[in-house]
Amino acid sequence: MDLHGKQVLLTGATGGIGQASAIELDRAGANLTILGRCPEKLEALEEKLSGKHKRLIADLNDQTQSRAVLQHCQQHGLDVLINAVGVMDFHIFDSQDPAAIERMVHTNLLSPMLLCQHLLPCLMSRPKSAIVNIGSIFGSIGHPGFTAYCATKFGLRGFTEALQRELADTPVSVSYLAPRATRTDLNSSAVTELNLALGNTTDEPEQVAAELIKILEGKHRHRYMGWPESLYVRVNGLLPGLVHDALTRKLPVIRQHAPRRDIET
């Protein structure tokens, strides 16, 4: 797809990956609607863009505000929906705050699903349109310390795969981008320290944004970033026992870095 002049809705625009993606989409000539919850951050992002774009302040976990997004797209048109919003909470599952689990399920999975459903009529009305859901390598590999987060990203990957097949005979292409560890504010200091302790490579948001552009240009349908992480995805699918053994050997390091919440009994 030639992005020049296309109407693009970018959720999670003020996050690390969202900001880098907005800059790349602006360079490609897209007409952006940058969506986020913080007016100040959206204004600061717009100042980094060369073109004149639209700002939309909304919390997609609020269905009333989500309907306002639909009205905006009905008014201005929509060629591309990019779901880049996401939250993460690194905790050992048995002591994780239930509110944090609910927030991840709503933000990472339920809200993107419902937004896709609401906006499909707008996308179907175009000769050619696209949805890109930004997931995670942890959407294919269950990782200790990220149990609930993995569940939401596994769900997003499954949703994307099924929707892609359901819309195969329509003008709407559906794609999935799975970054590995990326240097953003999504990572707590504990996550950063864990990645260092495990020797995990951390990408820059600009690398993820570059892969997003490649997907929109039609060069990939699904993209799993990083080596050896992308290899682990394949191995986990064929021989999950190997990945299980490799990760469980790291449990002492993971438990050492994972925060724990005191639970009253």
Q: Is 149 a catalytic residue?
A: yes
Residue 145, SS3 per DSSP: coil
Token couple for 203? 């990408």
What does the alpha-carbon distance between residue 163 and residue 153 come to, in Å, rounded to a whole number? 15
What does the alpha-carbon distance between residue 25 and residue 79 come to, in Å, rounded to a whole number? 13
- State which amino acid sits at residue 164: Q
- The secondary structure of residue 203, as a DSSP letter, is B
149, 176, 224, 232: the active-site residue: 149
233-255 per-residue burial string, b: 16 or more CB within 10 A, e: under 16: bebbeeeeeebeeebeeeeeebe
Q: Which strands sit side by side in the sheet containing 129-134, from one edge to the other?
A: 54-57, 31-36, 7-11, 80-83, 129-134, 172-178, 222-224
C-alpha separations of 120 from 41, 133, 232 in Å: 28, 14, 33
Q: Which residues are catalytic?
A: 149
